[in-house]
Amino acid sequence: MSKNELSPLNPSAAGTWLGVMGGGQLGRMFAHAAQQMGFKVAVLEPAFDCPAGHAADQLHSADYTDVEALTKLASQCAAVTTEFENVSAKSLAFLAESTFVAPSASCVSIAQDRMAEKRFFIECAITSGVFPASHKEINSAADIDAVPDDLLPGILKTVRMGYDGKGQVRVKTRAELHAAYGGMDGVACVLEKMLPLAYEISVLAARGADGKAVVYPIAENVHRDGILFTTTVPGPNIGKKSAEKAQAATLAVIEQMGYVGVLCIEFFVLTDGSLVVNEMAPRPHNSGHYTIDACVTSQFAQQARAMARLPLGDVRQHSAAAMLNILGDIWFAGDSDEAREPAWDQVLALPGANLHLYGKDTARRARKMGHITFVAATVAEAQANLRQACAILGITV
């Protein structure tokens, strides 16, 4: 690549393209933000009918490892990103031979492997002081027999390819651990100690190619069945010192990786107030969707800025926000298999309601279909409107 890669891109220049690996809703929202700035967006995704493909200026329907498609994307785009962490790091490295890739393959590869991620967090803890939970890698029945007693009860997770609660099993005893590992088809796993959790938070940050970094306000998250249910910002429970520590830890990680782009790190806040780092996502994140409606610069516009080597945007939050994830379950009443349209008119009559649907034609239970962000003058008001929306949509709070 030429030294040109570090020069800012001109979004108004004809044919200035940004590329996205992945066709999901994150790619869709990125396309909207980048197009608003004047860029054209190309998406590489195996599925022809995909949320990002509906929004992009061009869709390359091909496998993420297809050399011909990757070559086309690299020659077309002045910069390429990924919308999810399970895109092949080798494909990102291939793209980087001829175009600017942010985040880099090396950064994404850390997030693709839970053990590599934990080792990296431990390295960063020298600066941040925030460690991951106690854990042990599990590659055989013998490893299970060697697990210290104090790691149980725990959560057994696959080392690779886990997301939204997939590839995770809670275990209380060594016998349950053996059974759970037996059901993982022999893949590498990690056992994490179960912790006395008070609540969960996430920190969204961005870093430019020039090394300048910004960090968004703390988001407090509630999960159900491993899937994000709600996000409230600013987090109502976290104290100032803990918030600053989590933000500083995130900036330490993003700096040590030499990361370029948007990064989200999830933390556990324990009942004694201490922080434990959980995992990171090398991309915009579900818990950062509130930034579209409640911040000066959304996480997706921030990603476009970082890719284009433009100055990072203002992360100031101008309104309190409560975000509700919308799953396909609400299209179905009770145990019925017959889908019906939710009462969006009633939801949108609520103050501060911002509906974002992802263009997925078929609703399925547990499938992410969209989100609603409620903005208000106070967190309490935003949360109250979210609860009203849940009542309308038949969601138990």
Residue set of the binding site for ATP? 114, 157, 162-168, 192-195, 200, 223, 278-279
Q: Measured between alpha carbons, how far is residue 188 from residues 33, 89, 133, 346 in Å?
A: 38, 19, 18, 47
Taking the C-alpha atoms of residue 324 and residue 327, their distance in angstroms, rounded to an integer, is: 10
Taking the C-alpha atoms of residue 47 and residue 42, their distance in angstroms, rounded to an integer, is: 14
Tokens representing residue 29 in the block: 């929202």
Taking the C-alpha atoms of residue 362 and residue 74, their distance in angstroms, rounded to an integer, is: 32
Radius of gyration of the chain (CA): 21
Taking the C-alpha atoms of residue 141 and residue 122, their distance in angstroms, rounded to an integer, is: 26
Q: Please give, one letter per residue, the 3-state secondary structure of the chain.
A: CCHHHHCCCCCCCCCCEEEEECCCHHHHHHHHHHHHCCCEEEEECCCCCCHHHHHCCEEECCCCCCHHHHHHHHHHCCEEEECCCCCCHHHHHHHHCCCEECCCHHHHHHHCCHHHHHHHHHHHHHHHCCCECCEEEECCHHHHHCCCHHHCCEEEEECCCCCCCCCEEEECCHHHHHHHHHCCCCCCEEEEECCCEEEEEEEEEEECCCCCEEECCCEEEEEECCEEEEEEECCCCCCHHHHHHHHHHHHHHHHHCCCCEEEEEEEEEECCCCEEEEEEECCCCHHHCCHHHHECCCHHHHHHHHHCCCCCCCCCECCEEEEEEEEHHHHCCCCCCCCCCCCHHHHHCCCCEEEEECCCCCCCCCCEEEEEEEEECCHHHHHHHHHHHHHHHCCCC
